[in-house]
Structure formats: structure tokens, C-alpha cells
């Protein structure tokens, strides 16, 4: 199993970075009150305010901000301001040995999936798929359950997802356990054929996305299928697919029909409906810890992500 970072404590300093697109600065400012409530102090990356087209500064600057936070002994955890696009542009130049030697809480999702996957493969450290500051925490829609999920950073806790949180449906029955991996489907499909190709062998694969019509989800799942990633997985956890409705002016399969086609005949447990992804509430999860998916009981149990 991967290295679990040390838990956060009240009074700790957390680093705030923008590894991808420029975060909304007003929303980022509003999110700081929440971190203060958690008892955390903040240290901003040098380039969190930078704007370079659709990127939060140059690749070099964004990469250095991230690496500086891992190298800084004062910083105990790293929380992403937002996602968007761009983390994959420099992931192949990251110093994974530095990250492995300085394991810390690293928290984000969406475009951050590429970094989660790289850190998991080459630094062997547990990371966290959770709501980010400007894009989630600083908004009026930020849900109390989303806020509660940050508590897993302060004490090792087993997470239990049941239908008390949201309705769940089994696409295929059964039970499986394994290391929980995955994230944003678009980014996972982008890893195929690279040195950061997602490893699903014997693992529980989690997928989510936003703004992708059924035919786009179809293409990405087909890519994972042809790369053997669906067959290799022990089970599939289907998170939230927001704004995925087909355009009205053209015929389309439904998203459920796409899921049934690719995931229904795998002969392994597959459950959909988890509020994990671009949604509120957003149930944050550690990636790289052992988890158990019970499609018969429609539950997901995940071991702690911190020491």
C-alpha cells in the first residue's frame, strides 16, 4: 500500500497552489475563512495570482510552486485552489523522489487527477480527491457534508458511503476490494499511452466527469476498455457526471445506456450514483488506500488516508 501522509493538526500551515487554470480570486479569498475555522494557517504559492491565458502562470512556475510546497518543512499539507486545465503539461518533469521523501496531504480533483495519478505511480503516496478552495469552498453552494469531509485530514478515519448520502444503483452485483484509484474520466483517458497510464489491475477504479455528453463518455470508456483498464479492475465506482445531458437537437443514447454497455457485462461489482466529483455535496476520498465496494448492499468503505 502507498505511503500515508501525516495527519494535519490545528495550527499547521497548508500551502495553496494553482496547478492548472487561474482560480477565481474572490472565491479563493472567501474560502480562507473556512481554513481558519479548521485551525489552519495558509501559505500561498508565488504564482497563485498569475494568469497566462487559460493557465495560472507558466508551466515552470506552476510546477515550482507545487514542488516548493513539498520541499518546505513549514508546510504540512497542500490544497489546490482550483482545477481547469494544465497539470499534465509538466507532470513528466516533477521530482517524484522529492514528493516521496516529503509525503504530505495533497488535496484537489478534476484536472488534478493527472497529478494524483502521477504521484501514486512514481511517489507511492496517498493523495486526496476533494473539493478545492476557489471552485468549491468559496462558493455559496458549498455543502456542510463537503466541509465535514476535511475532518479525515485531522484524524485517521474509515469512510462509509451508504444510500443515506445519495441513491445508489448496482450496474452489476458482487463485492470487491482493492486500492482505490482514478478520478476525472477525461484525464484518465489522457494518461493512456503515456508513462502515467492509470494502473487498474486488481484495483477499484473510480470515475467522474462534468460537461461531457454521452457520446463523449462513450468514447473515453471505450478507450479504457480497449486499453484493458476496465477488464483489469476489481470493481468500478461511478461518481457524479454533471451536465452530461445530450444536446436536444440530435438523437443520443442516455448516459445510463452508455454505462450499461461498457460496465454491465464486466462480471464485477459496479455501482453508480456516488456524490463524488463536480457536485454538492462532494464526498472527498483518499486515493491509494484500500477500499471495499459491496454492490449488493450498495456501500463503499474506504480505509484512512492519513497516519
User: Kind of pairing, strands 127-129 and 105-108?
Assistant: parallel
Is 278 labeled as catalytic in the residue annotation?
yes
The question of whether 261 is a catalytic residue gets the answer no
Q: Is 58 exposed, middle or buried (0-12, 13-18, 19+ CB in 10 A)?
A: middle
One of 179, 208, 212, 213 is an active-site residue; which one? 208
C-alpha cell at 210: 462534468
Catalytic residue among 21, 27, 87, 110: 110
Please name which of 112, 121, 100, 109 lies closest in space to residue 4, comparing C-alpha atoms: 100
CA-wise closest residue to 138 among 37, 33, 42, 56: 33
Considering 47, 116, 129, 278, which one is annotated as catalytic? Answer: 278
Asked if residue 142 lies in contact with residue 136, where contact means CB atoms within 8 angstroms, the answer is yes
Asked whether 80 and 107 are in contact (CB, 8 A), the reply is yes
* Residue with cell string 495519478: 117
Contact, 119 vs 78, CB < 8 A?
no
Catalytic residue numbers read 110, 208, 278
Amino acid at each position: 500500500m502507498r505511503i500515508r501522509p501525516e495527519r494535519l493538526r490545528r495550527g499547521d500551515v497548508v500551502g495553496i497552489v494553482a496547478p492548472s487554470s487561474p482560480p477565481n480570486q474572490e472565491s479563493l479569498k472567501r474560502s480562507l475563512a473556512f481554513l481558519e475555522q479548521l485551525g489552519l494557517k495558509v501559505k500561498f504559492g508565488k504564482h497563485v495570482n498569475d494568469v497566462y491565458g487559460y493557465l495560472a502562470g507558466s508551466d515552470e512556475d506552476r510546477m515550482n510552486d507545487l514542488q516548493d510546497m513539498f520541499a518546505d518543512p513549514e508546510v504540512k499539507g497542500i490544497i489546490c485552489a482550483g482545477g481547469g486545465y494544465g497539470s499534465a503539461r509538466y507532470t513528466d518533469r516533477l521530482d517524484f523522489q522529492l514528493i516521496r521523501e516529503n509525503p504530505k496531504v495533497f488535496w484537489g480533483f478534476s484536472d488534478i487527477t493527472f497529478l494524483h495519478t502521477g504521484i501514486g505511480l512514481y511517489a507511492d503516496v496517498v493523495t486526496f480527491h476533494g473539493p478545492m478552495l476557489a471552485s468549491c469552498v468559496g462558493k455559496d453552494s458549498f455543502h456542510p457534508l463537503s466541509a465535514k469531509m476535511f475532518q479525515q485530514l485531522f484524524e485517521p478515519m474509515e469512510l462509509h458511503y451508504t444510500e443515506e448520502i445519495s441513491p445508489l444503483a448496482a450496474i452489476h452485483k458482487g463485492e470487491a476490494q482493492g486500492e482505490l484509484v482514478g478520478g476525472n474520466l477525461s484525464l484518465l483517458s489522457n494518461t493512456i499511452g503515456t508513462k502515467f497510464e492509470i494502473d487498474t489491475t486488481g484495483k477499484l477504479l473510480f470515475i467522474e466527469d462534468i460537461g461531457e455528453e454521452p457520446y463523449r463518455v462513450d468514447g473515453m470508456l471505450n478507450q479504457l476498455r480497449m486499453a484493458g483498464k476496465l477488464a483489469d479492475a476489481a470493481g468500478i465506482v461511478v461518481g457524479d457526471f454533471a451536465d452530461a445531458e445530450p444536446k436536444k437537437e440530435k438523437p443520443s443514447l442516455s448516459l445510463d445506456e452508455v454505462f450499461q454497455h461498457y460496465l454491465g457485462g464486466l462480471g464485477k461489482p459496479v455501482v453508480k450514483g456516488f456524490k463524488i466529483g463536480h457536485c454538492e455535496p462532494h464526498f472527498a476520498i483518499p486515493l491509494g488506500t484500500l477500499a471495499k465496494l459491496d454492490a449488493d448492499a450498495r456501500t463503499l468503505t474506504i480505509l484512512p488516508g492519513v497516519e
